[in-house]
């Protein structure tokens, strides 16, 4: 699962009938520190998330296990609205240093 921020919506009239009634949102992945990461995803919303909110996104075939997504052509689903992200400062610093090397 990844953390992401909602940056837009997708409207599609002609689509697979199994997607009818689904809210499609454009999300951009973010790091645990909140920084934008490359790329984007279109994800089906299952928790009534809103614009600019930080959310939890599940991808791959597991996305179909989210509410009301069973047997639907869904490969990314928003399954949570993030309240807080806590990072372990000691390990965070250590890992950031390792990443810079």
Partner 1 sequence: MQLGRVIGNVVCTVKTASLAGQRLLIVQPLGREGRAMGRALVALDSVGAGMGDTVYWCRGREASFPFLPADVPCETTIVGLVDVVNIPGSTFAIP
Binding region for partner 1 (CB under 8 A): 1-3, 29, 31-32, 37, 46-49, 56, 58-67, 69-70, 77, 79-88, 90-92, 95-96, 98-99, 101
d(CA 87, CA 36): 17
3-state secondary structure of 79: strand
Q: Which is nearer to partner 1, 14 or 100 (CB)?
A: 100
CB 11 to partner 1: min, Å: 23
Task: Quickly count: other Cβ atoms within 10 Å of residue 45's Cβ.
Answer: 20
CB 14 to partner 1: min, Å: 27
Q: Which is nearer to partner 1, 13 or 90 (CB)?
A: 90
Judge whether 22 and 63 are in contact, CB under 8 Å.
no
Q: CA torsion sign, 26 to 11 to 52 to 70?
A: negative
Q: Which is nearer to partner 1, 14 or 81 (CB)?
A: 81
């Amino acid at each position: 699962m990844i953390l992401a921020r909602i940056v837009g919506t997708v409207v599609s009239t002609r689509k697979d009938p199994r997607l009818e009634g689904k809210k499609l949102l454009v999300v951009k992945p973010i790091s645990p520190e909140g920084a934008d990461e490359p790329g984007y995803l279109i994800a089906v919303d299952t928790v009534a998330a809103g614009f600019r909110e930080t959310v939890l996104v599940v991808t791959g075939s597991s996305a179909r296990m989210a509410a009301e997504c069973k047997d639907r052509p869904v490969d990314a689903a928003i399954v949570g609205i993030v309240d807080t992200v806590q990072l372990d400062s000691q390990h965070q610093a250590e890992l950031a240093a390792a990443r810079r090397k």
